[in-house]
Amino acid sequence: MVGMTTVGVEGSESRWLTAHEALSRLARQRAAADAEEGRWLLAAQRAAVHVHLGFGNFAEYVERLFGYRPRSTSEKLRVAEALESLPALAQALEDGRLSWSAVRELTRVAVAETEHEWLELAAGKSLRQLEELVTGKRLGDRPSDAPDPAAQRHLLHFDVTAETFALIREALAELRRRSDTALNDDIALAEMARHVLVGPRDEGRSNYQIALSLCPHCSTARQLANGQLVPVGPEVLEKAQCDSQLLPTPESVMPPDSGTTAHERADSETTPPAESGTTAQPVAHVGDRATQTIPPAIRRAVIHRDHRRCRVPGCKNAIFLDVHHLQLRDDGGQHEASNLITLCSAHHGALHNGRLRTEGDADALRIVHADGHAYGEPREPRVIEVQAKVFSGLRGLGFREGEVRTVMADLRQRDELREATAEQWLREALRRLHRPSAPPRH
């Protein structure tokens, strides 16, 4: 009996060891296949294979080949492009030392100067651990850098009936039809929320229905979310700065002996008046003491001049409208009709995150993509994506939107950067910018 039991145990050990070795081999092979797949997907996109084969777009072509959803295809391409300038991470994927999912997370933050640090940190870590380490970090950050809560992405999960599922899909489709432009999930859901939170019907007043709390010490902004303050990026603050309402100073609504600290007052739904030089904020509930940054008469005139619709060619949005300063307020832009245009929230955001830019004034307006082509005619999607990433990265580092736009315009004149990576653009931009002193994070 003892001998038979021993043989059984040895047989069991052999089976689990064989299974483990087989799975390990498959994991290495899959990682190598993912590396090769990414390279060829990127080559196929750059060669416009889908056009030659008659497909409507590249995502459809890949879906028919691999069954990938458009979001998966987009991530595959993003990682493959990032790995072109990250040879150590690319080799780790090729050798099977890291899975594609792990490399996907690391390419969100690693650049050539930091990839070895991130590679060393990733050794022995699970995917969940890597996700936690990357959360709140921006492209170019080191593992030792403090995370920025505003850079964190959030996931929404809903358990709905078939009817609700169908209604949401129809609503998203209708939003995309109205905007006449590509809306990703983030923008589309934000538009749905804004339609629920639609603001005052008086066209002379801002129709934001959110509250932003601005810290006067570090200029970081947090948005009120049903009792919780959620850190948001600088582009959100710039967008709100265009068209907002002001509450009075904290001191005017809080007694001096209240015992409240300066930081606690900065977190409240108040902000100093405009003449103090601090940034304006939109508010959720506007009282008698709230003031409008753009004079109501001018705001009404601008919206009337623009026929109560977004000025971007082909955009059909005419419900939830913002007023945008062509010359930014931080750069001296005034509340003059010639410096103001009407935009839907989606296109307003695209201007503040670098995917779109404007030329001329309100009377001779031209809106172009980041690649320089007129709106509606983007010919170099890779250039648009690269420049948008660099624009966002520089804003996240604390540079003002106006100075970022200036240096980006300068770099666009350099022919050798047409095919450059986001990392190369970022490096060249930083050579021309004076890094701002890091403000304290609250």
Q: What is the pLDDT of residues 378-400, one digit of tens each?
A: 677 778 888 888 888 888 787 88
pLDDT at 269: 35
Are 192 and 175 within 8 A, CB to CB?
Answer: yes
Question: Against a cut of 0.75, is the pTM above it?
Answer: no
pLDDT at 240: 75
For the chain, give the mean pLDDT.
Answer: 77
The closest alpha carbon to 26, from 99, 91, 92, 84, belongs to: 99
Six-digit token pair at 92? 């780790």
Examine the pLDDT at 130 and tell me if it is beyond 70.
yes
More confident residue, 292 or 392: 392
Going by pLDDT thresholds of 50, 70 and 90, the confidence category of residue 105 is very high
| Burial class of 333 by CB neighbour count within 10 A (0 to 12, 13 to 18, 19+) | middle
What mean pLDDT do residues 275-297 have? Answer: 52
Examine the pLDDT at 123 and tell me if it is beyond 50.
yes
Are 355 and 388 within 8 A, CB to CB?
Answer: yes
Residue with tokens 């590396």: 35
Gap between the Cα atoms of 384 and 427, Å rounded: 17
Going by pLDDT thresholds of 50, 70 and 90, the confidence category of residue 273 is very low
Gap between the Cα atoms of 249 and 270, Å rounded: 6
- Residue-wise burial string across 402-429, b where 16 or more C-beta atoms lie within 10 A, e elsewhere: ebbbebbeebbeeeebeebbbbbbbbbb
* Lowest-pLDDT range of 152-161, 408-417, 420-429: 152-161
What mean pLDDT do residues 131-143 have? Answer: 87
More confident residue, 420 or 195: 420
